[in-house]
């Protein structure tokens, strides 16, 4: 009985001519790529002064006011230490810490926080395990003469609004 069943299954399978099921190829891990140069290898410069930090904040706040946005804006030195901060009237309280976190992450990792946001969205989820990372745009390094002197972080609006305000502040650094 079992032999007939096995023979019937074999014949039926041959008659139906099932195609071989293709096995999916394993995805290549983007972390296996070895870059020729160190990414985000911006050298450290002298820390940003209070006057320059306040000028960057003023520019970010002016952009936010022009657009009727309420922002919290923080500037840190290259080591991630707070140099200056301003909270616009009506800006959400939770964004005080977020703006400072964005500035710190941008300075200590020497890159825009948008890089983390993009990486996490593209599946590089290991980034969320790194201390000090924030996966939200609105943190921008302040580079002068090719050297990192600090970073600016904005929070209070959407990520894209935060980024626009930060870019206005970062533009004060030449």
pLDDT tens-place string over residues 73-100? 999 999 999 999 999 999 999 999 999 9
Q: Taking residues 47-67, report their average pLDDT.
A: 98
Residue ranges covered by each domain of the chain = 50-170
Q: How confident is the model at residue 13 (pLDDT cuts 50, 70, 90)?
A: low
**Is 5's pLDDT higher than 60?**
no
pLDDT at 27: 67
pLDDT at 33: 83
Tokens of 123: 């599946």
Residue, of 11 and 154, whose pLDDT is higher: 154
Q: How confident is the model at residue 173 (pLDDT cuts 50, 70, 90)?
A: very high
With vertex at residue 46, the alpha carbon angle to CA 43 and CA 52, rounded to the nearest 5 degrees, is 120
With vertex at residue 132, the alpha carbon angle to CA 88 and CA 36, rounded to the nearest 5 degrees, is 120
CA nearest neighbour of 162 among 15, 4, 170: 170
**Is 167's pLDDT higher than 80?**
yes
Which pTM does this prediction carry?
0.80
Residue, of 2 and 122, whose pLDDT is higher: 122
Number of Cβ within a 10 Å radius of residue 62: 13
Q: Where are the beta strands (DSSP E) in the chain?
A: 72-77, 82-87, 139-144, 147-155
Q: How confident is the model at residue 71 (pLDDT cuts 50, 70, 90)?
A: very high
Q: What is the pLDDT of residues 105-164, one digit of tens each?
A: 999 999 999 998 988 888 888 888 888 989 999 999 999 999 999 999 999 999 999 999
**Is 14's pLDDT higher than 60?**
no
Q: What is the CATH number of domain 50-170?
A: 3.30.450.150
Answer whether 166's CB lies under 8 Å from 153's CB: yes
């Amino acid at each position: 009985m079992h032999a007939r069943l096995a023979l019937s299954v074999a014949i039926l399978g041959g008659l139906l001519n099932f195609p071989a099921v293709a096995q999916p190829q394993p995805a290549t891990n983007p972390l296996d790529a070895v870059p020729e140069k160190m990414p985000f290898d911006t050298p450290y410069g002298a820390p940003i002064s209070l006057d320059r930090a306040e000028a960057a904040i003023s520019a970010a706040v002016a952009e936010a006011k022009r657009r009727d946005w309420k922002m919290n804006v923080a500037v840190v030195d290259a080591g991630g230490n707070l140099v200056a901060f301003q909270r616009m009237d009506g800006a959400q309280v939770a964004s005080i810490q977020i703006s400072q976190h964005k500035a710190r992450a941008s300075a200590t990792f020497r890159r825009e926080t948008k890089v983390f946001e993009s990486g996490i969205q593209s599946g590089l989820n290991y980034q969320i395990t790194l201390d000090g990372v924030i996966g939200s745009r609105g943190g921008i390094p302040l580079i002068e003469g090719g050297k990192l002197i600090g970073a600016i972080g904005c929070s209070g609006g959407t990520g894209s609004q935060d980024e626009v305000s930060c870019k206005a502040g970062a533009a004060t650094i030449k």
